[in-house]
Amino acid sequence: MNVLYEDNHLLVVEKPYGVPSQADSSGDDDMLSMCKAYIKRKYDKPGEVYLGLVHRLDRPTRGVMVFARTSKAAARLSKQIQAGQFDKTYTAVLVNEPAQKTGELVDYLLKDENMRIARVVHEGTPGAKKAVMRYEVLATQDGLTLVRVKLITGRFHQIRAQFDAIGCSVYGDMKYGRRDKKEKLALFASEVCLVHPTKKERMCFALTPMHFPFDKFEL
């Protein structure tokens, strides 16, 4: 496990590709359970270990993930998320290039529980939630586009669904993009910034994606 930061209140780690954030019907190892086991072993804690799931990353998404080690820290971080103070930045490689180098995408997403995807629908559609994100094109190479994404809202499959809606699906996306060639999803949670729940200091935790197709670009 790649631990980026750890104290009595926070645990910040790198979530690998293909690992669910929490236990699901697959029965596969998940980040929440693995991090609990890590704390239990390291500190020789008896009984059940508390660890709060502050936010989630899709199974095929790799990158920075934050957990709360106390219920007080979990509550304070949840309030930050609601207030827009918990900043998440992603790096992605897109198939095709957006029409604008920088932009803000505003859509309404409806989660399809059966297909496990999010669909862009008209405003006012029952059950739809507003989704907002900002992006910046960093580079283009061999028909691929490297972008930095700042999430304003945190909806299910938001980045993947919104980029696919403008014809620029995330490289390797088997749910929204090309389905004829299986590749790892080129979506990376590259930075999380938050206010420490007790120190009240602004902290940022970052990673740089180095695997294909990110390695086509200078990061």
Please determine, for residue 179, whether its predicted confidence score (pLDDT) is greater than 70: no
**How many CB atoms within 10 Å of residue 34?**
14
At 219, the pLDDT band (50, 70, 90 cuts) reads: confident
Calpha distance 21→92 (Å, rounded):
19
Spatial contact of 197 and 9, defined as CB atoms under 8 Å apart: yes
Number of domains in the chain: 1
At 117, the pLDDT band (50, 70, 90 cuts) reads: very high
For position 11, what pLDDT does the model report?
Answer: 97
What percentage of the chain has pLDDT greater than the value 90? 82
CATH number at residue 148: 3.30.2350.10
Secondary element (H or E) of residue 158: helix 158-165
Q: 58, 107, 164, 173: which one is catalytic?
A: 58
22: domain range? 3-216
Q: Beta 144-151 vs 102-112: how paired, if at all?
A: unpaired
58 is catalytic: yes
Residue keyed to tokens 């989704």? 131
For position 161, what pLDDT does the model report?
Answer: 96
Mean pLDDT of the chain: 93
Letter for the amino acid at 173?
D
